[in-house]
Structure 1
Amino acid sequence: MASKVYFADLRARSADENKGSKMQELFNRVYDGMFSEDDLVAVKVHFGERGNESFVSPVLLRYIVDKVKENTRKVFLTDTNTLYYGSRHDSVDHLVTAILNGFDYAVVGGPTIIADGLKGGNERIVKVEQKHFDVVKIAGDIYEASGMVVVSHFKGHGISGFGGALKNLAMGCATIEGKLEQHECAKPIIVGDCDLCGLCVEECPVGALSLAKDGVKINYDECIACMNCMDTCPNEVYDLNWEEDVPVFIERMMEYSLGAVKGKEDKILYFNFLMNITPDCDCVAWSDYPIVPDIGILASRDPVAIDAASYDLVNEQVGFKDSILEKNFEEGADKFRGVWGEVDSSYQLVYAEEIGLGSRDYHLISL
């Protein structure tokens, strides 16, 4: 049976048609009274790395928070600390970054809580019984929440192809140890000639790299798959095993998504923002030029369906010639393959449906 996905475009000629009004109407379409007055409801959002500005605007997020507050007194915004060592690796830096990016109580209308604690140690073990994981490690305050509103910026991602609601659940709701479990199957490999510049060694946060006479060496027991080495290397020394490791990484992510919703499947709403559709995750400290025009905002009760609809809507667009896109500019072509050619991003949808997260079959309903 097709899942309902509601869509609002970005055209507006009156106050009744502005983004805030449309978001409130989207909320009304998907909300069915699942939150009670005393429920603790997490609004799961990405606060953006410092230097990034393509994340969902806190000004727009306020409209969703206000709608949730009409139904429960206890609403909080949340995210989890990052595996890589950036501006959100611990809760102190994370909260400072969130505020600098505009996620302050006065703006968003609710308190902000980093769900996995000061250094990522606040976790709950959740049973999923899947191919790769019997149990997964979910942030304690997300696990304890009565329900969730998952707000995602739909954009590209270097390893998963795209990031939407499913990735927001998988990486966004996992502890640091949980993120490492997802990544550890897809660690960098050495494919090029190293000139011994040492930049990657300096950037490795855990000392997993060292220089020898014949080039750089990786201590895989220490490597956390943060990809700092790949991002730093000027000589393309590093790569991934795209054919074997990346599909497994995607499967592991989807199994973590399953753990994130466990126990509250009927008390979660999903919003995807198809605006500023950049080639990279909001975890990077920059925002590249979008690959397609802004499209609109989607809402659903099904994370697979909303990502499937988002994926299709992006691919229906004509790609921007002056973006990072290398191919697939035409309508109907896979834009994420046009950026990250090695990744079949649609496999997220296939495996997520296979393990029972939702349906790829959707009915798109325009406001």
Structure 2
Amino acid sequence: MDVLAKNEARDALKAALRTFIKAYLTYNPEVTDVDKEQGGNAFLTDCNTLYTGGRKNALDHIEAAYANGYSPFSTGCQVIIADGLKGTDETLVEVPDGEYVKQAKIGHAVMDADIVISLSHFKGHECAGFGGALKNIGMGCGSRAGKMEMHSQGKPHVDPARCIGCGACQKVCAHSAITVADKKASVDHAKCAGCGRCIGVCPKDAVRAASDETNEILNKKIAEYSAAVLRGRPAFHINVVADVSPYCDCHAENDVPLCPDVGMFASFDPVALDQACLDAVNRQPSAPGSVLDERQKTHGDHFIDVHPATDGKVQLIHAEKLGLGTRRYTLIEI
């Protein structure tokens, strides 16, 4: 490609990104209108969470989406919770070169899509180091059983202090792994298949995932789940590097942002995108009064300073090894 053609391509990309980002910032249905004109039918999606809260089942999840401005009336497209009402609607996707995952459990509606466009809040994460496009796609598109596989080596367990012995978990277990005695449930790990249905139906949140996987392996599993979602389909990714919180967005007690806001980044390459966002955050000064300001050492990585037990770059290195993209990038400012 000659210089003129490169410049024209760059200008076209800049114009497209301006329109796209403006539409996302204002919840403008313009994006979905264009999509429909081209014969497409866009939808917003996410999978249910493994932890307790307002996104544990599809009904509460949709309500949470609407409350935060993601409704058909503001975006022009429907909201579909990809792994169904209780987080069990999944598709098994082969990851032949996976080091830890050979069959990823992905929310069914995600795998029905022809194109993936991801929109992620780039922030710190207590287990993954940081969360960007790969974390959002890998963990976000995993069904409840998929999330449990990424977080855990083992099977779910019951907190007897919370359990009321109602038997709801026993009724949904397809493998007869759960028994109730003396008004307390227990899980036989020899029979348990790790599907996570018991977690979804417990009215007291007494059934919990083991959450005993090492952070390094967790990061690699996230990359392998991302590979299951992205391979074989066109994809485009946007990261918002603003209000960079020290912990995952699921933490209600989140502290003040680690650093000043940087902006929005976009790329067809999720690995390059996350690397660029990581580099951009690391160039920022720590915000006064933040956890980073209190803990900043000499790692050269703000997220390692905040979470010394994990290095999020493991995720990027493994994703690059899997062929999801490259950590090398050219930053074009618009």
Identify the residue that residue 7 of structure 1 maps to in structure 2. none
Identify the residue that residue 262 of structure 1 maps to in structure 2. 231
**Cα distance between partner residues in 2 of 1:335 and 1:70:** 44
Identify the residue that residue 122 of structure 2 maps to in structure 1. 154
Identify the residue that residue 128 of structure 1 maps to in structure 2. 95
Q: Indicate whether 1:307 and 2:274 are aligned.
A: yes
Identify the residue that residue 82 of structure 1 maps to in structure 2. 49
2:256 aligned counterpart, secondary structure: coil
Identify the residue that residue 145 of structure 1 maps to in structure 2. 113
Residue identity matched to 1:174: G
- From 134, 144, 152, the equivalent of 1:184 is 152
**Cα distance between partner residues in 2 of 1:335 and 1:297:** 19
Matches within 5 A, 1:251-290: 251-264=220-233, 267-290=234-257
**Cα distance between partner residues in 1 of 2:37 and 2:129:** 36
**Cα distance between partner residues in 1 of 2:49 and 2:279:** 29
**Cα distance between partner residues in 2 of 1:201 and 1:166:** 36
Work out whether residues 269 and 300 of structure 1, in 8 Å CA contact, stay in contact via their aligned partners in 2.
yes
**Cα distance between partner residues in 2 of 1:24 and 1:68:** 17
Displacement of 1:66:
5.4
Identify the residue that residue 345 of structure 1 maps to in structure 2. 312
Alignment CA distance shift 1:68-1:343 (3 Å): farther
Identify the residue that residue 105 of structure 1 maps to in structure 2. 72
Work out whether residues 27 and 74 of structure 2, in 8 Å CA contact, stay in contact via their aligned partners in 1.
no
1:137 aligned counterpart, secondary structure: strand
1:364 aligned counterpart, secondary structure: coil
1:344 aligned counterpart, secondary structure: coil
1:278 aligned counterpart, secondary structure: coil
Alignment CA distance shift 1:65-1:312 (3 Å): farther
Displacement of 1:176:
0.7
Displacement of 1:282:
1.9
Q: Indicate whether 1:171 and 2:162 are aligned.
A: no
Work out whether residues 125 and 138 of structure 1, in 8 Å CA contact, stay in contact via their aligned partners in 2.
yes
**Cα distance between partner residues in 2 of 1:275 and 1:311:** 12
Post-superposition Cα deviations, 1:138-178, rounded to whole Å, max 9, x if no partner, equal: 11111010101111110111100101000111111111111
Displacement of 1:25:
3.9
* Structure with more contact order per residue of length (Cα contacts < 8 Å, sep ≥ 6): 1
1:362 aligned counterpart, secondary structure: coil
Displacement of 1:323:
1.2
**Cα distance between partner residues in 1 of 2:249 and 2:15:** 25
Residue identity matched to 2:330: H
Displacement of 1:356:
1.1
Alignment CA distance shift 1:110-1:178 (3 Å): same
**Cα distance between partner residues in 2 of 1:268 and 1:27:** 18
Gaps of 5+ in 1: 5-21, 31-56, 189-198, 208-217, 227-238
Asked which structure has the greater CA Rg, the reply is 2
Equivalent residues, number: 283
Q: Which has the higher helix share?
A: 2
Work out whether residues 152 and 211 of structure 2, in 8 Å CA contact, stay in contact via their aligned partners in 1.
no
Identify the residue that residue 323 of structure 2 maps to in structure 1. 356
**Cα distance between partner residues in 1 of 2:303 and 2:79:** 32
Displacement of 1:285:
3.2
Gaps of 5+ in 2: 1-5, 7-12, 171-185, 200-209
Work out whether residues 32 and 41 of structure 2, in 8 Å CA contact, stay in contact via their aligned partners in 1.
no
Displacement of 1:338:
2.1
Work out whether residues 23 and 297 of structure 1, in 8 Å CA contact, stay in contact via their aligned partners in 2.
no
Alignment CA distance shift 1:67-1:276 (3 Å): farther
Displacement of 1:283:
2.1
C-alpha RMSD of the superposition: 3.5
Work out whether residues 58 and 103 of structure 1, in 8 Å CA contact, stay in contact via their aligned partners in 2.
no
Identity %: 37
Identify the residue that residue 218 of structure 2 maps to in structure 1. 249
Q: Indicate whether 1:119 and 2:119 are aligned.
A: no
